[in-house]
Structure 1
C-alpha cells in the first residue's frame, strides 16, 4: 500500500491531506512443481537423469529434424551404424573431454606426488574434444559445424553426418532442439512491473550496501519522488530476489557461519518490510542456508518468523518458474550460467542465456559439474514452455536483451546484477517487455 499527499482544493493551498494509492494486483501462479517434487533418493545413480533427458529430447527433436531435413536421412542409434560413409542422423548427448576439468582421482594422484596445482576459474584448453553418446556407446565428432568451445557437456542435439573407417563421425550439419512455441502474450491495460534483485549479501560484515538496501525498501514503499512517480511505483506487481539474500557469490569467502546466524533477524525484518508493500518471492542461492544441490528447495520457514505473517511473502525454489499476469517467468540464481562460462569460451552472459534457450535446457552441465539431485524419471531443467521473462541472478553487472526466435518467440533476457557490488536492481515492464536498471548508490 502506498501513500502520497495531494492538496485539498476546498481548503487553503497550504493544507494537504493524504491520498492512498493501492498496489496493482495481477494473477499469479507458481509453476515450479517440477522443482519441488524432485525425488531426493540418493541411492540412485546419475545415469538416470541423462537417460531421462535423452528420451525427452528424442521426442522433441523428431518434429524439429523433420522440419529441417525432412525425411531424407535415416535416424539411427550409435549401435545401428553399420555402413561407413553413409549419411545419417544421430541423436545423442554431447560430452566434452577436457584436460583441465577437475577430477578427484587426479587431485588425489597429484597430492600423493606432492605436485602443487594452480587454482583455476576456467577449464578450457585448446586440446578439448567432443564426443556424442547415447545409452550404449559414444563416438568422436569432427567437423566445422560445431565449435567445441561454444558448447558444454549435457546438451542433447541431432547430428547429420557419416562415420569414417576410423570410427570418427564427421558432422555435416547440426540441429538443436530450439526454443519451444510460445503461447500468445496477453495484452495489459496499463504498465505492470516486476523488480528483479539478487546478491543482497545481508550476512556480510560490510555495511556499505545496507544504506542502499534501505533506499530500495523506501522506494518500493513509495516514500520517494513526486506524486506522479509514486503512482508509477504502485504498478510494481512483484519483487523476485534471485538468490544471494544471505551471502552473494562475490563475498562467499568472507562470510562465516556465525555471520549467517547473526543476520537472520535483519534478513527477516527486510523481507517483512518488502512483503508489507509488495508481493515478494525469495529464491535460495548456492551460498544461502539451503541445500547446495539443484533444484534447491525453498529457504526454511523458521528463518522468517515476521515475514511469514504476510500472505504476499513466498519462499520459492531455485530454479523458479511462475506466471505473472499471464506472462511466464523463468530463471535461476545464476549457478548454471556461471558454470557454462567456466567450461567454455562463452564469456557473455546474454549469449549463454540465448544458447540455453536454443538448447531448450537451462542447466545442461547438471549433474556433471553442477551439484544436482539424482533425478530418475524426468529432467526438471528442461525448458518445457517458452518463457516471456528469462533471468539469471548474481551477475557482475546489469545486462538485458530481447531474444526473438524463428517461431515468433519474444523473450526478455535479464542478467540480474549482484546488489552488494552494483547497488542496482532490474525492472521489467510486462506491458511492452522493456527493461531497465535502477541504482540506489
Structure 2
C-alpha cells in the first residue's frame, strides 16, 4: 500500500509503489514433458464436442422445452428436432497447400486477400454419427467459423439439408463476483507490438514509456499516479527478427548480431522496468518461441538482466492470471486475427465477444490456427468468465464493457501495436475503467 511522505519544507514527495496480490493461472496452457507421437487433431475436436455438448444439452430444456435432441444419423425428414455438433465452414477462398504449390510454379503471384469469406460459403454441422449441410437464413455463415459447437433447432428438408430455425450458443461462462468497491486506485498497464529491431521501432518512444511508468517523468501528480501502477503486461511481438535468419539453417557469423541485438536492447529496457515493478511478458507470433498455441514462455536466458529480478515473469500465450481477485485472460492477438480472416464483424471487440459466447478462446484452432495436438483436453475452452479480456497487436485501441445475462461484467481491450501507434493502455483495478497512454517523439506543432 502506498503512502506519501514529506521530505521537509519545499522538498519533493517520496512515493512508494503500491502492491497487489498476483496469482498465475497459466498451468492449463503449460506443456510439461509431453511429446508428439504422431497423434492427430481428431482428439481435440472430440474433447471439445464432448464438453460443449454436455453443456448445451443442459441448456436445451429451458430453450426449447420437450424438443427431442437427435444425432445427424437419426434425422427424419420434416420432423423438428435439435442437433448439437461442431460447425464446419466450407469456404471457396480458403487457402490450401495446393495454392502454395501454385505460387511456386506460377510466374504471376496469386491474390492474397486479408479476409477469405465469400457469398457462396456455407456451413455444415458434424457429430460422431455424420454431417449435414445447413440451410436457412437464421445462421449467417459470415458470423461463424469452423470449430464452433452449437445447438440448432430445425428439420431435415427433402434435399437432405437441415433447415435451421433457431440457434443456441453456450453464452458467457459463469463469473466470480467482481470485487468493485470504494478501494484505492491501482493500475495495470498493457503494451504490445514493441517490435524491437524493426524499422518502425523508436527507442526514444519506448524510453518515454519506461520513464513515465517508472516515475522518472512528470511532476509530483504524474509521479503519484505512476506509483499506483502495480503491474506492466507486454502482450507479444516484443522483438522482430528477420524470418530469413530463423529458417532452420545455420546462421552466418556476420548475421549473429542481427538476432542478438534486438534481444539485448529489449533486455536493457526490461531491466529498467522490473527494477521498479512486476512485469509479465508474453510471446507473440514474431518472438523467439514456439509458433503453435499455446505458446510457451520466452526462455529466461534471453533476458540475462531482467531475469535476475523476481519481478520478471515470462508467461504463456494465452495468459491467465488473477490480480487482487480480478480475473485476467488474454492473448497476443493470433486468435482474433485468425477470426478476422475467416469471418466478419463490425470491429475486433465483436470477435472477442463471440469467443466468450462460444466459450472458446481459439475456435479456429487447429483448423487454420496452429495448436498443440492435445489428446485428453482442449485447454482453450472457457470454464469461467474473466473480468478483463485483452488481445494484443491490434491496429488501434478499442475497449468496451460487456454485460452478460447473469450480471457478468467483462472489460474488453484491444491493445494496439506500440511501435506503430505509440499507445499503451492503462486499466484501473478498482472499477475496470481504462484509457490510452499516448507517447510521441514528433516535435511538429
Offset of 1:43 from its aligned partner? Answer: 1.2
Q: How far does the alpha carbon of each residue in 1:308-342 deviate from its partner, in whole angstroms, 9 at most, with x for none?
A: 11111000000110001101100000001011011
Which residue in 2 is equivalent to 1:401?
Answer: 400
What is the SS of the residue equivalent to 1:268?
A: helix
In the alignment, which residue of structure 1 is the partner of 2:312?
313
1:159 maps to 152
C-alpha contact 1:193 1:236 (8 A) present in aligned 2: yes
SS at match of 1:79: coil
5+ long unaligned stretches in structure 1: none
Give the TM-score of the pair, scaled to structure 2. Answer: 0.91
Q: How far did 1:63 drift?
A: 2.5
Alpha-carbon displacement from aligned partner over 1:16-60 (angstroms, at most 9, x marks no partner): 2x5432211111111111100374425100111111110110122
Alignment partner of 1:149 is 2:148: no
**Any runs of at least 4 consecutive aligned residues in structure 1 with deviations exceeding 4 A, and if so which?**
1-7, 109-116, 252-258
How many residue pairs align between the two structures? 428
Contact 1:3 1:222 in 2 (8 A): no
Report Cα offsets for 1:358-382 as digits up to 9, x if no partner: 1111110001111111111111111
User: For residues 200 and 334 of structure 2, what CA distance do their matches in structure 1 show?
Assistant: 24
Task: Go from structure 1 to structure 2 and tell me whether the alpha carbon gap of 1:281 and 1:165 turns closer, same or farther (over 3 Å shift).
Answer: same
CA–CA distance in 2 between the matches of 1:413 and 1:227?
31
Q: 1:402 to 1:157 in 2, by over 3 A?
A: same
Q: Is the 8 A contact 1:340 1:346 kept in 2?
A: no
Distance across 2 between alignment mates of 1:235 and 1:114: 58
Q: 3-state DSSP class of the match of 1:295?
A: coil
Taking the aligned partners of 1:260 and 1:351, their CA distance within structure 2 comes to 37
How far does the alpha carbon of each residue in 1:367-426 deviate from its partner, in whole angstroms, 9 at most, with x for none? 111111111111111111100000000000101000001111000000001000000101
Report the TM-score, using the length of structure 1 for normalisation: 0.92
1:240 matched to 2:239: no
Shift, 1:254, TM fit? 8.6
User: Are the counterparts in 1 of residues 231 and 278 from structure 2 also a CA contact under 8 Å?
Assistant: yes
Could you say which residue in structure 2 is the equivalent of 1:8? 8
Unmatched 5+ stretches in structure 2 = 247-254, 441-445
Q: For the aligned residues, what is the CA RMSD?
A: 2.2
Deviation, structure 1 residue 114: 6.8
Counterpart in 1 of 2:251? none
Would you say the 8 A contact 2:143–2:344 is kept in 1?
yes
Moved more, 42-51 or 405-414: 42-51
Question: 1 CA distance for matches of 2:232 and 2:134?
Answer: 45
Distance 1:438 1:379, change over 3 A: same
Match of 2:179 in 1: 186
C-alpha distance in 1 between matches for 2:279 and 2:104? 47
CA–CA distance in structure 2, aligned partners of residues 376 and 360 of structure 1: 19
